[in-house]
Amino acid sequence: MPNYIRAYVPGGSYFFTVALLERRRCLLTENIDTLREAFRSVKKQRPFKIEAIVILHDHLHCIWTLPPNDTDFSTRWRLIKTSFSRSIIPGERLSTRRQFKQERGIWQRRFWEHAIRNQKDFDNHTDYIHYNPVKHGLVKRVADWPYSSFHDFVRLGQYPLEWAAPVVTLGRDLE
């Protein structure tokens, strides 16, 4: 097994990408309330702040800030994945290895993590999170994707509603 080098910063902020094993499935958006409950449940046990988040059909991106002197994001992700998986009716394809280990085949085993270094890094990752539904061709405007903290950022005045929206010429001849 490879040795993963993770940056553990007590009370740090981290960008994460977490994906389903079968990337063509839409389990996350089809079961959004179950996913939200998994997050709520884990946050009660092991507090953390979700700074920004987007849930797509088969993966999610988010930024968390952990409490001071806490670096344990891995346990939080394990608990979220487990809670979500236990609430989903079995039926996914299982490899021989997963069958042997009695594992579900919902999530990829690992996740991508990046320790946020400064405000510019935070802002860049927040923009990436919110633009992701447009990047994947799910919507034309960031504001049209319902499973995103973008709407909270608009309410707080941190983004205009039309942030990153395509320019509409409204039938004007630009030549």
Task: Average the pLDDT over each of 59-63, 95-99, 112-116 and give the range with the smallest value.
Answer: 95-99
Half-sphere exposure of 60 (CA within 13 A, CB side): 23
- For 85, 99, 100, 103, the CA distances from 96, given in Å and listed in that order, are 19, 5, 6, 10
Catalytic residue chosen out of the listed positions 4, 8, 14, 147: 147
Helices 32-45 + 73-87 axis angle, to 10: 140
Q: How much is the pLDDT for 106?
A: 83
Q: What are 160-170's pLDDT values in tens digits? A: 999 988 765 45
| Tokens 């994001």 -> residue | 73
| Alpha carbon distance, N-terminus to C-terminus of the chain | 60
Q: What are 140-163's pLDDT values in tens digits? A: 999 999 999 999 999 999 999 999
8 is catalytic: no
This prediction has a pTM of 0.88
Q: Which of 17, 23, 18, 147 is nearest to 92 (CA)?
A: 23
Provide the β-strand partners of residue 9. Answer: none
